[in-house]
Structure 1
């Protein structure tokens, strides 16, 4: 470790607070007037979705640590309870800002552009009648109210919206034997006896009914000259959309569920359950069955957050808090609608293209000829695809062609996350059904994708695919596909290595890198790696690839130390890194040592960064930027100057303890000079971004990078897309020019 005088607790930032700082940068996109209105709404939805997962996993984990009362401190010097308090404070501030942006800015602007959220208490009688018809015809028959006795709630799912109804009056029926969700050691504190009338009921809204309910345009709230259809068709006017949220609709007509009783108040609430439930593999003989138990445990886990309408009565608030045993610090009372992910639905409403980003359709890679088999394209030389600027189709095509090619003998692939209707999974099944030797490592422990992966695993097994569920105690996170093909010169292995998942949907949204190659050394290494994973054996030393948890950490540290030593010897030394997260203390300390030796270090870290840049005597030569733009930056790319002979790598791994020590990951060198040059130029571009880049300060705060007076605006993602378009256009124009030449037929000699 470095001998820097900087105190140990000042060397690192807290991981949880650093993540919240990242989500704040995403929220800044929702608050940026330069961003199109519906894109701002989408960014607000993203921050809500991000925060849900953070609370489920990270807050859930801290709660479990706090229960242990070990007093253990994180690298920043905070105990679990101190972190929980700091996180709660930051979350409340973050949520307050979310709703200020929504209510004071986005919602009024959306209304100006005729995207209107209807208030059923203030709309016209005609519109209210349409809403009532929808409620009676499509809602009442689906939902069921449930009276609550002795705080015995039905088993409510996390993240769903439910209505808590406060009642008066006599109930004729009192259901018995409702499921008990209170811990067995916690007796009910409700003073009511069993024979007293219930004062509360709950209406779970479920996931069957759409949250956004379209309504016809209200003439009272729009231009009277507008042509409004009478059939309630939301597309009757292409630039108008009126809607009510399901919870508002049900709340307005909630009396229908309780005839003969007085509804005192009806307010929406939402609970978040602890999702930090992991499989105890030492006691799980059947991994598939064990993962199904994990999913069930997550469904029944403790509540770690309670959200409710700010106008809910104290009786409702106290009832819910006491029923779910929620820490008061994690009770959120919001002025607007709960669960802002409904804004994703508004982003997709037809007829408002002017309020969305210009379409950037992925471009065809010039290195891939659509008229030729993928095997021919790869045989001509290594191919790099930069997603989503270049289409993911060649990766899908490669596997689909392998499924039907009679010369393909085997396909081996790791699947961590896939799309719902994955063409890659379909191709693997098809290959097995045609008699090819197909092996798939399906990671059942991919958090929140466990259920889908279990389903895929069973389907592939039924088709004859040899399915492996990974390695005990480790998640298999590497992205690799190996295709073994018989060719005249013998067996040839074609490979895909990636930084992202085999998911053609997210490949249009995430910035990632794919490498397609038939390099012999890579083929040998990849096969040995794959066989070691499937055979539960110790892998032999590899020539080019590095594997976590065996050699990847050591390789990264050696590369950083190599630059440190060159700088100490008076050579130029430079490191450029693109990551999603930098958390690992040993890697951070090694970067600090490199900085103290004078190495120029540029870190492009999208999310969590626990390193402090720019501290005298510790990290003066380290620069950290974060790019937050329309695409999620997801690629992991590493550059080391290496004495003027640059070494560049792509990887599936971030620099976090879990990636380096508890996952199966790959580090892949890039050997093709043209591809190396392109990746280096791309890394350099990110550090010139002055439109959507944020510079990290030594205290962990971020400041937006702005162009100087004489600097031209540079937006890295737009530059990458425009370059992909121009490169393809130039090649197509050259091809057309060649094809347009007149060639004469000559007589035979």
Structure 2
């Protein structure tokens, strides 16, 4: 039986789950939401689309990098000890299970239920004569002029296919105008074309009728190849490596280097090929050879290869009875009652629990700062902000109003690189001092510092958060924000911003835990303190809420704490590589995941500390990248009333959930919690009822 190691030793590989396989398991939990008849129908469709999007990113990043290192012989097993070749095989097996469930959910469950509600996604086999005529006209006038079908021959080799685009392989018989025999052609659907077409009511009658672009291309493929007989047409989609390879230490200008790298991202090495279930072996072989893939990289789809686009229907339809009930986020009474936000924060810390409480409070604070003549400086980090956020307008206004504005923008926020480069350019043009962070360390901390003259001195006002300054995400993600005028926290944050903008030396902080310097050591030290307390017979417990957990030394410390008698509850929404419930090692550790209406995003660490509990909120998960390779901040909740509220709302409330919680077994699989004889408790709905004004139940 493996044992938990002493400090300085390493765990046996059997004590760790695979990070990649754990990430895949999360998607099964999301898919369960798409299959749950208690979830509103259009929300179920949205969850199905989320699974497809998650799988895209999983292949673009995790599988792509694993294959890269495997191909070049540089792959070394992670803490789980699984060789890269075996891990790739196990990933494929689990993805096949997921894809099968995904398309069965689409074909056998969602599509019929949507149709029963008057929402029809029409295959071409079911088009009426009137629909066929309208769709043919649409194809001839709106689609065909944009297409550039390509016949494959020595003069027209296999083209470059853009990442995640819809394509059709067409088998032909006949001769072209030059007397050349036609055998094969490709039709690439430009991204300018809508992937789903809405058929007008005057054509289809009552209800909503939609057609996937792929169905349109199949139905009228003969119009693209006049003079040829079409023997078959087959959809496909390729996923490519999307991890950028900029060597920051070797470039003079990170923004320019990233811009150049982004140009080629869409044509990087392929890692996955999606094809229809009816695609013949010969066509499959041709695609495999041209993409330089293996059979193991092919995934057959019993439906649209770009099923992710089904999520557009959710956005288009105003059917409130088929969506989650609307709600109005609360604004804290103190912030709503007073026009002067600084006075409110100076008197007492303000806690924000999104999405139940409105992000507007943060916007209002910054808006007042831009207009207040006593505000001298504003410093802020932006990781993912969204391009339509009012925050950027306010930062521009502040600079134009004479404030000293510094913004640390993380250009390398994955898949937001282009948006962040545009954002940086706009801010710079307005006179904002823009900093791109630190070479080798992504700036992931979410923090804002406002310096205000009050009387004969200066006072710092701070906003810290577990989530991004992204207004749209603040309505979908659960996060904790803190507004405070605490002098020590303000001084700590001032030092961090100085370090980021001035490349300063290591700093000593009084209240904040700071990655990559003190956060990792502090987390391990606090776990070890609980371990020592348990051994001494004192009260000891750990509760942590995270997005992911994979840092091996933290896991080893948790195993030692469990062996010493510490009760540990971990709420890990996504991938967790710790094995709970192992006799003699982790039987006092329980791991649960909440998957519900909102994406659980807040990170909260709580330590019993022998009756004097400490609670921190953070931008960092207990992952190697967050603790070692990122700029992160964990901030304490010092107000006892607010600390109790954070514990109750984010930890105790979530641990009581018995309807949307999933319990991790030591084998790496999850089982859904059920109420049994106890009253049903939905943690997210509990907070909606407590904090929000719902418009419907």
- Is TM > 0.5 for Structure 1 vs Structure 2? yes
1:347-394 residue CA offsets vs partner (Å, 9 max, x unmatched): 234343222111133222223125513222212210110000111111
Contact 1:277 1:297 in 2 (8 A): no
1:522 matched residue in structure 2:
489
Contact 1:625 1:693 in 2 (8 A): yes
- Aligned ranges for residues 107-122 of structure 1 at < 5 Å? 107-122=111-126
Higher deviation after alignment, 133-142 or 445-454: 133-142
Q: Distance in 1 between matches of 2:645 and 2:660?
A: 21
- Aligned ranges for residues 276-295 of structure 1 at < 5 Å? 276-295=243-262
Contact 2:380 2:447 in 1 (8 A): yes
**Which SS does the other structure have where 1:367 is aligned?**
helix
2:231 matched residue in structure 1:
264
**Which SS does the other structure have where 1:140 is aligned?**
helix
Contact 1:605 1:624 in 2 (8 A): yes
**Which SS does the other structure have where 1:722 is aligned?**
helix
1:157 matched residue in structure 2:
162
- Aligned ranges for residues 288-303 of structure 1 at < 5 Å? 288-303=255-270
1:48–1:595 distance in 2 versus 1, CA, 3 Å: same
Q: Distance in 2 between matches of 1:549 and 1:664?
A: 6
**Which SS does the other structure have where 1:289 is aligned?**
helix
2:196 matched residue in structure 1:
212
Matching of residue 244 in structure 1 with residue 211 in structure 2: yes
1:394 matched residue in structure 2:
361
Contact 2:330 2:693 in 1 (8 A): no
Matching of residue 708 in structure 1 with residue 676 in structure 2: yes
- Aligned ranges for residues 471-486 of structure 1 at < 5 Å? 471-486=438-453
- Aligned ranges for residues 723-734 of structure 1 at < 5 Å? 723-725=690-692
1:700 to partner: Cα distance: 0.9
Residue from 620, 638, 656 that aligns with 1:688: 656
2:5 matched residue in structure 1:
2
Residue from 97, 104, 117 that aligns with 2:101: 97
Contact 2:327 2:694 in 1 (8 A): no
1:486-544 residue CA offsets vs partner (Å, 9 max, x unmatched): 12252111111000000000110001110011111111100001101111111321111
Residue from 24, 28, 31 that aligns with 1:27: 31
1:630 to partner: Cα distance: 0.7
1:15–1:116 distance in 2 versus 1, CA, 3 Å: same
1:580-614 residue CA offsets vs partner (Å, 9 max, x unmatched): 00000000000001101101100000000000111
Q: Distance in 2 between matches of 1:360 and 1:41?
A: 21
- Aligned ranges for residues 593-632 of structure 1 at < 5 Å? 593-632=560-599
Contact 1:304 1:327 in 2 (8 A): no
2:498 matched residue in structure 1:
531
**Which SS does the other structure have where 2:69 is aligned?**
helix
1:82 to partner: Cα distance: 1.2
Uncovered stretches (5+) of structure 2, i.e. residues with no partner: none
Contact 1:529 1:539 in 2 (8 A): no
1:225 matched residue in structure 2:
none
1:7–1:516 distance in 2 versus 1, CA, 3 Å: closer
Matching of residue 131 in structure 1 with residue 135 in structure 2: yes
**Which SS does the other structure have where 1:368 is aligned?**
helix
1:544 matched residue in structure 2:
511
1:714-746 residue CA offsets vs partner (Å, 9 max, x unmatched): 000000111103799xxxxxxxxxxxxxxxxxx
1:278 to partner: Cα distance: 2.6
Higher deviation after alignment, 496-505 or 294-303: 294-303
1:592–1:340 distance in 2 versus 1, CA, 3 Å: same
1:198 to partner: Cα distance: 4.6
1:177-230 residue CA offsets vs partner (Å, 9 max, x unmatched): xxxxxxxxxxxxxxxxxx96452222221221221211145xxxxxxxxxxx35
Q: Distance in 2 between matches of 1:30 and 1:727?
A: 23
**Which SS does the other structure have where 2:263 is aligned?**
helix
Contact 2:467 2:601 in 1 (8 A): yes
1:315 to partner: Cα distance: 2.5
Q: Distance in 2 between matches of 1:63 and 1:328?
A: 14
1:606-630 residue CA offsets vs partner (Å, 9 max, x unmatched): 0000001111111111010000001
Residue from 58, 61, 73 that aligns with 2:65: 61
**Which SS does the other structure have where 1:156 is aligned?**
coil
1:87–1:727 distance in 2 versus 1, CA, 3 Å: closer
Residue from 440, 455, 461 that aligns with 1:494: 461
Matching of residue 199 in structure 1 with residue 183 in structure 2: yes
Residue from 661, 664, 674 that aligns with 2:641: 674
1:361–1:149 distance in 2 versus 1, CA, 3 Å: farther
Contact 1:547 1:665 in 2 (8 A): yes
1:543-596 residue CA offsets vs partner (Å, 9 max, x unmatched): 111111111100101111111111111011111100000000000000001101
Contact 1:528 1:539 in 2 (8 A): no
Uncovered stretches (5+) of structure 1, i.e. residues with no partner: 174-194, 218-228, 729-749
Residue from 577, 582, 589 that aligns with 2:544: 577
Q: Distance in 1 between matches of 2:327 and 2:294?
A: 45
**Which SS does the other structure have where 2:336 is aligned?**
coil
Q: State TM-score, norm by structure 2.
A: 0.96
Q: Distance in 1 between matches of 2:53 and 2:344?
A: 40
Contact 1:32 1:40 in 2 (8 A): yes
Moved over 4 A (4+): 3-7
Contact 1:439 1:465 in 2 (8 A): yes
1:118 to partner: Cα distance: 1.7
Q: Distance in 2 between matches of 1:462 and 1:96?
A: 50
1:315-347 residue CA offsets vs partner (Å, 9 max, x unmatched): 321111111011211101111111222221122
Contact 1:62 1:81 in 2 (8 A): no
1:147 to partner: Cα distance: 2.2
Across the aligned residues of Structure 1 and Structure 2, the Cα RMSD in angstroms comes to 1.9
Contact 2:15 2:578 in 1 (8 A): yes
1:7 to partner: Cα distance: 7.1
1:12-67 residue CA offsets vs partner (Å, 9 max, x unmatched): 00000001111111111111111111111111111110010001000001011101
